[in-house]
Amino acid sequence: MKNIKFNIKNLLLIAFYFSLLTSHFLLSSCGYRVIGSAPLPFNSITIKQVQNKTYEPKLEERLHNALSEEFINQGIEVKGKGGDVELEAVVTTFLLGAVGAINDTIKEQEIAMQADIKLTDKEKVTEFKTMASPIKITFQTAGTVSETAANKETATDKACREIAKEIVGRIIMTYAK
């Protein structure tokens, strides 16, 4: 009885590896491939000082930090000077909008943020206009003024992180073509 379980376990393992191998060949024959930092022709990036064209304070610092973290997460070294490529970002839009209200009191707000990106790789310049978060960023406004301000700060950081992910993903897809 013990040999039967052992054989079934081996057969299941073989079937699993066979299906994994088969799916790899099918996907690769259709043109699909796994995309990460490997297809990028650069190992380092210099992120120039982000420009903030809005009236919202400190967006330039927040987006710069979010971009740095996201490139590091993708295995790309972030350098102050002399990176293989250079990235320039301009925050063009930062809007707050009411999402939910009860009896004329706003309870939830949404952040809409956009940035223009310019990536310079030797002589090649790639631009991405009006990059925005692919997800809706909201925060609660119920409570004290300090609680609402803290919620807004957290939501603003999240918006910057989401835009940074979108930017890095778009750059990866551009170089993967």
Task: Let me know whether 50 and 116 are in one domain.
Answer: yes
Q: Please tell me the predicted confidence (pLDDT) of residue 97.
A: 84
Tokens coding 161: 């992180």
β pairing state of 51-52 and 85-102: parallel
Give the whole-angstrom CA distance, residue 76 versus residue 150. 31
Domain containing 17: what range? 1-33
Task: Let me know whether 29 and 42 are in one domain.
Answer: no
Task: Let me know whether 108 and 126 are in one domain.
Answer: yes
Instruction: Specify the residue for token string 């380092």.
Output: 44
Give the whole-angstrom CA distance, residue 160 versus residue 61. 10
Residue 15 — pLDDT band, cuts 50, 70, 90? Answer: low
pTM of the model: 0.74
Asked whether 47 and 78 are in contact (CB, 8 A), the reply is: yes
Task: Let me know whether 49 and 105 are in one domain.
Answer: yes
Enumerate residues 6+ apart whose C-beta is below 8 A from 156: 56, 59, 62, 111, 113
Q: Out of 10-14, 97-101, 160-164, which region has the weakest mean confidence (pLDDT)?
A: 10-14
Task: Let me know whether 91 and 5 are in one domain.
Answer: no
Q: Please tell me the predicted confidence (pLDDT) of residue 12.
A: 59
**Residues paired with 121 in a beta bridge:** 124
CATH number, residue 116: 3.30.160.150
pLDDT 10s digits, 83-120: 999 999 999 999 988 888 777 777 888 999 999 999 99
Residue 13 — pLDDT band, cuts 50, 70, 90? Answer: low
Residue 148 — pLDDT band, cuts 50, 70, 90? Answer: confident
